[in-house]
Amino acid sequence: MEYRDQLKYIKSHHTENGNNRRKEKKRKHRESRYAEPVPKRMKAFGRLLWQVQIFASLFFIGSMMILAIFPLKYMLVLTGIALILLVIVRRMLCRAGRNRRYKSNGKIPAIVISVLFTLFGFYALKVNGALDKIATGDENGSYIQEHAMNVTKQPFNIYISGIDVYGEIVQESRSDVNLIATINPRTHKILLTTTPRDYYVQIPGISEGQNDKLTHAGIYGIDASIATLENLYETEIPFYIRVNFTSVEEIVDVMGGVDVESELKFTTGEDAGAIVEVQEGKNHFNGKEALAFVRERQAFTDGDNQRGKNQQALLSGLIKKAISPMILFRANGMINSVVGNAETNMSEAQIKSLIRMQLDDMKGWEIESVAASGDDSGQQYCYSYNDGPLYVTVPDWGIVSEIAGKIQEYLGY
């Protein structure tokens, strides 16, 4: 081999060996990075955090299943999110276990996710417990037939009774608010019927054929008020919701106030609980203002008839706000505010099914309001009062008949 060829061979051989050495060095460096010893406690701690996240995720999903207000598609999405977060955090923790430079990677997300899932889980259980306290019908065996009704498929009437007291709902009192909500879940239509508190009617099974004020029926219990309205409008009212002044104020405040459309401009008096300047058209009320709005009647020439219309206006405003998705963030506060101040004979399962139906399709509801009326200029003797005649509203039976027909129409009969 000539000298020049020898130099080329030595040079190429040296370059090749150098490249091989550099590649080998890089390979060993990469291996050393991932093979760098990691303290056992760091690996164990990461594993522990991931296990905690697993339990928090299971607790969250289990709590949401117990609450049972979310449609199946929402539950599948929530479950999918929980699984994805578990996979992401596991990869981050594994990466941290292989490399000291990422030793904190994954730990903070695991802690934050676990805390949030745990809090949301307890929130769901708290809401579920509050619903159970409101649905008093679950503990009463006399409502078996009512509880068999599928309220998401079958139209129904529900009586909304407002008693004129603050505090615990268990006390019997006059019913100053007498609303019937006829709900058709198939058409997403609601008919609100208000009946004046002084309507001069018979109380079936109580007044012995004599007439009395409708409000006095509340003294004999919720069933007496329901029977009176069923007799008046020739319909069946399987369900009721009973509220008092306390629950109205607190529900409105927890909702962040309510927008109400008023037919008239007027000022409420001190007897209504607060002096409020009500504008014709849209008003935004807090709890005390909303209560004064529906209690006022002295400011109207139409007296109790206009008060009934105002009660319908408030209820319409509450319904519109209640069907908003954002209400979920206030659900716990709303429900807790009415525990002890409201009750219903609807079962917990029926209430949840209605909420689930609304969340499933998020359709709006068409609300129509009608009001019974009559002659409120005279006095009559009442069954429940022996000291003399009282001012009453003698029913306009033509209007009553029209309302009865409209209720049947909404029920699909």
Q: Judge whether residue 399 has pLDDT over 90.
A: yes
- Secondary structure E strands in 36-82: none
292 vs 239: CA distance, rounded Å: 27
244 vs 246: CA distance, rounded Å: 6
Burial class for 340, CB neighbours closer than 10 Å (0-12, 13-18, 19+) = middle
More confident residue, 159 or 98: 159
Tokens at residue 123, please? 């929130």
* pLDDT band with cut points at 50, 70 and 90 for residue 42: very low
pLDDT value of position 46: 81
Beta-carbon contacts of 45 under 8 Å, excluding residues fewer than 6 positions away, are 107
pLDDT value of position 193: 95
Q: Judge whether residue 40 has pLDDT over 50.
A: no
* pLDDT band with cut points at 50, 70 and 90 for residue 1: low
Q: Judge whether residue 65 has pLDDT over 80.
A: yes
397 vs 374: CA distance, rounded Å: 8
For residues 242 and 222, the answer to whether their CB atoms sit within 8 Å is yes
Query: Region 159-185: what's the mean pLDDT?
Result: 78
**DSSP letter string, 87-134:** HHHHHHHHHHHH-GGGTTTTHHHHHHHHHHHHHHHHHHHHHHHHHHHH
Greatest mean pLDDT range, 79-83, 93-97, 382-386? 79-83
Q: What's the mean per-residue pLDDT of the chain?
A: 83
**Model pTM?**
0.79
- Nearest-CA neighbor of 150 among 340, 352, 298, 12? 352
pLDDT value of position 131: 81
CA angle, residues 142, 148, 154, in degrees to nearest 5 = 125
* pLDDT band with cut points at 50, 70 and 90 for residue 262: very high
Query: Region 286-302: what's the mean pLDDT?
Result: 88
* pLDDT band with cut points at 50, 70 and 90 for residue 98: low
Q: Judge whether residue 38 has pLDDT over 50.
A: no
For residues 92 and 106, the answer to whether their CB atoms sit within 8 Å is yes
Q: Judge whether residue 248 has pLDDT over 70.
A: yes
Beta-carbon contacts of 96 under 8 Å, excluding residues fewer than 6 positions away, are 42, 46, 102, 103, 104, 105, 106, 107
More confident residue, 1 or 296: 296
Please tell me the chain's helix, strand, coil percentages from 3-state DSSP, rounded to the nearest 5.
Answer: 55, 20, 25
pLDDT value of position 34: 45
Q: Report the chain's terminal Cα–Cα distance, integer Å.
A: 113
pLDDT value of position 132: 82
* Tokens 């060996």, residue located: 17
Q: Judge whether residue 142 has pLDDT over 80.
A: no
Query: Region 22-42: what's the mean pLDDT?
Result: 50
DSSP secondary structure code for residue 279 in this structure: P
Q: Judge whether residue 378 has pLDDT over 60.
A: yes
pLDDT value of position 126: 85
More confident residue, 167 or 211: 211
Tell me the residue type at 38.
Answer: V
Lowest mean pLDDT: which of 16-25, 256-265, 393-402?
16-25
